[in-house]
Amino acid sequence: MAGQPELRTAAKAAMEGGLRMEEGDELLLVVDEDTVELADSFIDAAPDISVDVAVVYFPRASQERYLKTRQFPLSMADALQSSSHLLTCLSSEARYMSARSDLIDLCWRHTAKVAAMPGACRETLLACAVDYSALTEQCNVVASVLARGEELQLFTSHENREYTLVAKLGKWERLPVPSDGVIPPGAWGNIPSGETYISPIEGTAEGDIIIDGSIPGLVIGGKRPPIRLTFQEGRLISVVDSASTTARHLQENQIKHAEENCDPNWSNLAEVGIGLNREVKELSGLMLLDEKAYGTAHVAIGSSEGYGGQVSSTIHCDMVTLNPRVTVDGVTLMEGGNLGSWAESSFFDPQERQLLMDDEVLVRRTSARSKRDDDLLLREWTCDAGRIVRTPVGRGESSLLAGRVLEEVQKSRGGLRLPTLARRTNDLSSELLVDALLLLSSYDLVDITSR
């Protein structure tokens, strides 16, 4: 693949925009027999940003040996642990998932920046050439909605019938991951990226979803019909039509592997995600790409470890649905292939608004993290993958006001009564103060309680 300028440009974007490599940095690239040609693009692009690229060859035969011994070759292990920037481009087959996961785990726990590109090919590399600033903003917006929700509803349709899948999020009990492809130190993430995902609370998923986009290794359409997945108490209990080409492919390439390994958790609803990458032009059956396609949603069964959940499995099987309607507590997050629009007040608790009519109400600072950036208030949390997420609390003026009110609240360890807080912010109308408090509460930054 050497000499293709568009691939060189994409490789540069992955190193410069995703891994944020700077002059003098070194990238360790881990490839197998299917992805080794991609190394040329990174090697060609490296001089453009004055970095170096070293390549480790880890073929399937070596991955098979690792599955038996659970030991990486010594020279490879040393290189992995001493690397500051790592990109893995290995097979996406389910049977090799634990080898990929352990390799990533070995590296990012040594404070490296680790990017993963399972099943890497020409199309996956091209999808790295995105506007990372715009992508980060969209990913964070979606994350702010998912984090504040009690319940997610995913609506799909087939043959003029609508189906609904519902799952509990717990309102800050489960923290979403805005996967924008920008990898900070001590963290890992997939590239190309462009999705925000969350792991619903175990045992809560109920209902049906139509999968009409793709599953691993297969694009749905024509003789490969859509399938309907039914979940009960958080587990996949049926696939209809089980005799279809699509269902048989899912059984043979994912579920069978889990069953042969006596995996009791393969049916767990592990993840729900929203695709936000406009550079993914069409579905390919490669989930690294397909789950990022703008306007799609996907669910995954199997392991939720590393995705914000608590379930371990031998598989993590993503499946894409086209043009869904996704709502969170009734607020439209996505519909018709586009993100919805919503007011911040959509997430205000009406009971808390009623409480704030009482002068004896107490406002306390919670333990949730926040940060100020150019006077804007940001809510901060850390994901399982080591990524620190910072998303704006409100928009524009509302964020400025929320930051000011929070500053007053956190001056008092025991909290403040509403009249005291009103005196300290006496240039704000009572309506603006109440809205600021409700906004802060929706981001779990203050606790509002009655006397």
Q: 145: closest CA among 399, 447, 391?
A: 391
Spatial contact of 186 and 229, defined as CB atoms under 8 Å apart: no
- Pairing type for strands 325-328 and 316-321 reads unpaired
* Phi, psi torsion values for 284, nearest 5 degrees: -130, -10
User: How far is Cα 130 from Cα 186, in angstroms, rounded to an integer?
Assistant: 23
Spatial contact of 220 and 212, defined as CB atoms under 8 Å apart: yes
**Per-residue pLDDT, 194:** 94
What are the residues whose beta carbons fall under 8 Å from the beta carbon of 107, sequence distance 6 or more? 80, 81, 83, 86, 114, 188
335: pLDDT strictly greater than 90: yes
| Residue carrying structure tokens 């040609």 | 37
pLDDT-derived band of residue 74, with 50, 70 and 90 as boundaries?
confident
Average pLDDT, the chain: 92
Helices in 46-178 by DSSP H: which ranges?
60-69, 74-82, 97-108, 122-126, 132-148
375: pLDDT strictly greater than 90: no
pLDDT-derived band of residue 388, with 50, 70 and 90 as boundaries?
confident
**Per-residue pLDDT, 2:** 54
C-alpha distances (whole Å) from 244 to each of 162, 268, 296 are: 21, 22, 23
User: Residues 83-100, buried b or exposed e (16+ Cβ, 10 A)?
Assistant: bbbbbbbbbbbbbbbbbb
385: pLDDT strictly greater than 70: no
401 DSSP β-pair partners = none
Spatial contact of 212 and 321, defined as CB atoms under 8 Å apart: yes
- Pairing type for strands 161-168 and 177-179 reads unpaired
User: How far is Cα 110 from Cα 236, in angstroms, rounded to an integer?
Assistant: 36
Tens digits of per-residue pLDDT, 398-438? 999 999 999 999 999 889 999 999 999 999 999 999 999 99
User: 297: which 2 tokens?
Assistant: 């949603």
* Phi, psi torsion values for 56, nearest 5 degrees: -115, 125
Q: Above pLDDT 90, what percent of the chain?
A: 75
241 prior amide bond cis, ω within 30? yes
C-alpha distances (whole Å) from 347 to each of 272, 413, 428 are: 20, 26, 22
Q: 119: closest CA among 86, 96, 85, 93?
A: 93
User: How far is Cα 164 from Cα 156, in angstroms, rounded to an integer?
Assistant: 7
Spatial contact of 302 and 310, defined as CB atoms under 8 Å apart: no
Q: 135: closest CA among 279, 289, 309, 320?
A: 279
C-alpha distances (whole Å) from 75 to each of 33, 58, 97 are: 19, 12, 22
Q: What is the pTM of this model?
A: 0.86
325: pLDDT strictly greater than 80: yes
**Per-residue pLDDT, 25:** 95
User: How far is Cα 44 from Cα 7, in angstroms, rounded to an integer?
Assistant: 9
pLDDT-derived band of residue 31, with 50, 70 and 90 as boundaries?
very high
Tens digits of per-residue pLDDT, 79-110? 888 888 999 999 888 788 888 888 888 777 76
Q: 327: closest CA among 191, 145, 180?
A: 145
Q: Locate CATH 3.40.1830.10 in the chain.
A: 5-126
| Eight-state DSSP code of residue 282 | S
Q: 256: closest CA among 318, 315, 320?
A: 315
112: pLDDT strictly greater than 80: no
pLDDT-derived band of residue 1, with 50, 70 and 90 as boundaries?
low
**Per-residue pLDDT, 121:** 87
pLDDT-derived band of residue 451, with 50, 70 and 90 as boundaries?
low
| Eight-state DSSP code of residue 293 | B
- Pairing type for strands 362-365 and 416-417 reads antiparallel
User: 328: which 2 tokens?
Assistant: 């969170």
User: How far is Cα 406 from Cα 364, in angstroms, rounded to an integer?
Assistant: 9
Tens digits of per-residue pLDDT, 139-174? 999 999 999 999 999 999 999 999 999 999 999 999
Q: 319: closest CA among 376, 271, 358?
A: 271
C-alpha distances (whole Å) from 236 to each of 153, 197, 240, 267 are: 16, 19, 11, 5
**229 compared with 115, residue with greater pLDDT:** 229
**199 CB-side CA count, 13 A:** 21
Spatial contact of 296 and 290, defined as CB atoms under 8 Å apart: yes
Tens digits of per-residue pLDDT, 194-224? 999 999 999 999 999 999 999 999 999 999 9
430-442 vs 397-409: helix crossing angle, rounded to 10: 80
Question: Into which CATH architecture does domain 5-126 fall?
Answer: 3-Layer(aba) Sandwich (3.40)
User: 212: which 2 tokens?
Assistant: 């009409």
User: How far is Cα 125 from Cα 189, in angstroms, rounded to an integer?
Assistant: 15
User: How far is Cα 318 from Cα 271, in angstroms, rounded to an integer?
Assistant: 8
